[in-house]
Amino acid sequence: MMRSEKLRRLVAMLPCMCCGQKGQTQAAHANFQSFGKGMGIKASDAALMALCVRCHAELDQGQTMTKEERRNAQYEWIAKTWAALAEQGKVAV
């Protein structure tokens, strides 16, 4: 499972992929078993998304989104996070 403090720090510098807020953004891990999430184990750092504190809490507690909406949103936000990192030249292949 991938762990990278450098990547987590880069993601936390991006604006929130949900609401666009800048500052106080967190590198939020996906909530999927397919990315290695388990009881007390965070998913791989390869499945990070930049979320502000409010949007991160909403994702984890899921009070306004259905399970399917949360799942779809996570895939979208992970993709947007990686696209933003690539466009800023922060990741290279």
Look at residue 73 in the predicted model and tell me its pLDDT.
93
Instruction: Encode pLDDT of 36-63 as tens digits.
Output: 565 677 788 889 999 999 999 998 887 8
User: What secondary structure letter does DSSP report for 49?
Assistant: E
Instruction: Encode pLDDT of 65-84 as tens digits.
Output: 888 998 899 999 999 999 99
The model's pTM: 0.87
- The H or E element containing residue 52 is strand 48-52
Q: Phi-psi bin for 87: left (phi > 0), alpha (psi -120 to 50), beta?
A: alpha
Position with higher pLDDT, 61 vs 14: 14
Domain boundaries, the chain: 5-87
